Amino acid sequence: MASLGHIVQRIRAWEGIGLLLVFIALYVVLSFASPVFLTTSNQLSILQNAAFFGIVAFAMTLVIVSGEIDISVGSMAALSSSLLGVLIVKQGWPMPLALLAVFVVAGLIGASAGALRAYFGVPTFIATLALYLALKGLAQLLTNNFPLPIDSGEFFYWGDGRVLGIPVPALYLSAVFLILLVVTKKTVFGRSVYAVGGNAKAANLSGINVHRVKILVMAIVALTAALTGLLQTALLSSGNSTIAVGLEFDAIAAVIIGGTALSGGKGSIVGTVIGVLFIAALLNGMVLLGVNPYAQQVVRGGVVLVAVLVNVWRTRRTALV
């Protein structure tokens, strides 16, 4: 009885290692192909770039594990940046208050998408598709589609500086990773996310507040999108409605490459961190090798398709056991 379980366990463990092996292979190939790739400065820049979609990817893992999706994160980041610009440049708000306002707005919008899902049964794909357009439009409306330059040295430091030589965005990436890792492994909420995504009916009968879980995961991913928007704002030193285009793609792609089941209930933040680093290294490598930008897009799309196929094939196989 136990031996069967153990075999399955071993196959699963091996598949996790499979992703790691592919990742290492990518590193080996790129380090031979480009002399610059393995240098410290390039590796740090990979980490910095990873932050701009990785932070969202970690929260997106929760969303997808709970059986939902959020495709509005890019527009949410653009709105956050624009809102900050408007509040500081046009309204003259102090920085801390403006930051707080941005997070509150983002959290509320995310929570409403979750509430629409929980109480009215609106699929999150549709609700966030609507938000994708609406938030983008709102950002452009606020800024008239012009960048609003923000003058704040301190703010730039916390978004674009370096601590002990490490880019600050990379630190945010690590912090969000650690926090969500602990949340998914050690908290009632985190485990409830898996229960809801795996079997919502059973979770409900067991007394888990399914509505609350759905609202919270959608609010959390919106907050990480706002954080991403603010980091971009610091990088560009302006409130900007044109940032974070395609953020949803890279974030969801990282989650899928990390092995999280699109059907919900299964997945891990650790898998996602490998997915994030994989995409970041791949993008960086393609730039170093001078790959045509259009061809880069084809490669990114292809990688996601392959990852989904592997994922589906894996679920089928375990379903047969």
Partner 1 sequence: MDDTPVLACQSLEKSFGAIHALAGVDFSLRRGEVRALLGKNGAGKSTLVNVISGSVKPDSGTLTLNGREVHWDSPGAARAGGISVVHQEFSLVPGLSVAENVTMGRWPSRGLGFIKGDELQSRAKAALDLLGVHLPTWELVGNLSIAEQQLVEIAKALVDEPDVLILDEPTSALNASEVDTLLALVRRLAATGVAVIYVSHRMKEIPQIADRMTIMRDGREVATLGIDEASPERVAALIAGEATSVADAEYRDRSGAPSVLSVRGLAVDGVLDDVSFDLREGEVLGIAGFLGSGRTELLEAIFGLRRDVRGQVSVGGVPVRRRSPRAMLARKVAMTSEDRKHAGIVPALGVGENIVLTARTRVLPGQWLRRGRERSLQAETMRQLSVRASSADQEVGTLSGGNQQKAVIGRALAADMNVLLLDEPTRGIDVHAKTQIYALIRDLAEQGVASVFVSSELEELSLVCDRVIVLRSGKNREELIGSDASAERVLALAMKEVD
CB of 192 to partner 1, least distance (A): 8
* Site for partner 1 contains 4 (CB under 8 A): yes
* Site for partner 1 contains 318 (CB under 8 A): yes
Q: With beta carbons less than 8 A apart as the criterion, state whether 270 and 181 touch.
A: yes
One of 8, 24, 175, 295 touching partner 1 (CB under 8 A): 8
* Site for partner 1 contains 298 (CB under 8 A): no
Q: With beta carbons less than 8 A apart as the criterion, state whether 150 and 233 touch.
A: yes
Could you tell me the maximum CA-CA distance found in the chain, to the nearest angstrom? 68
Tokens of 95: 């920085």
One of 188, 292, 294, 313 touching partner 1 (CB under 8 A): 188
* Site for partner 1 contains 91 (CB under 8 A): no
One of 197, 229, 259, 271 touching partner 1 (CB under 8 A): 197
CB of 290 to partner 1, least distance (A): 42
CB of 175 to partner 1, least distance (A): 17
DSSP string covering 274-287, please?
Answer: HHHHHHHHHHHHHH
Q: How far is CA 266 from CA 84, 112, 224, 262, in A?
A: 36, 25, 21, 8
* Site for partner 1 contains 312 (CB under 8 A): no
Phi-psi domain of 221 (left: phi exceeds 0; alpha: psi -120 through 50; beta: other): alpha
One of 121, 153, 165, 207 touching partner 1 (CB under 8 A): 207
* Site for partner 1 contains 189 (CB under 8 A): yes
One of 27, 34, 198, 291 touching partner 1 (CB under 8 A): 198
**Distance (Å, rounded) from C-alpha 168 to C-alpha 234?**
11
CB of 65 to partner 1, least distance (A): 7
Stretch that binds partner 1, among 169-177, 180-188, 229-237, 285-293 (CB under 8 A): 180-188
* Site for partner 1 contains 121 (CB under 8 A): no
CB of 186 to partner 1, least distance (A): 6
Q: How far is CA 4 from CA 15, 71, 115, in A?
A: 17, 39, 41
**Distance (Å, rounded) from C-alpha 229 to C-alpha 246?**
13
* Site for partner 1 contains 202 (CB under 8 A): yes
**Distance (Å, rounded) from C-alpha 258 to C-alpha 250?**
12
One of 39, 91, 206, 297 touching partner 1 (CB under 8 A): 206
Burial of 202 (0-12, 13-18, 19+ CB in 10 A): exposed
Amino acid in position 165: G
For partner 1, the binding residues (CB under 8 A) are 1-2, 4-5, 8-9, 12, 65, 186-189, 191, 194-195, 197-199, 201-203, 205-208, 261, 265-267, 318
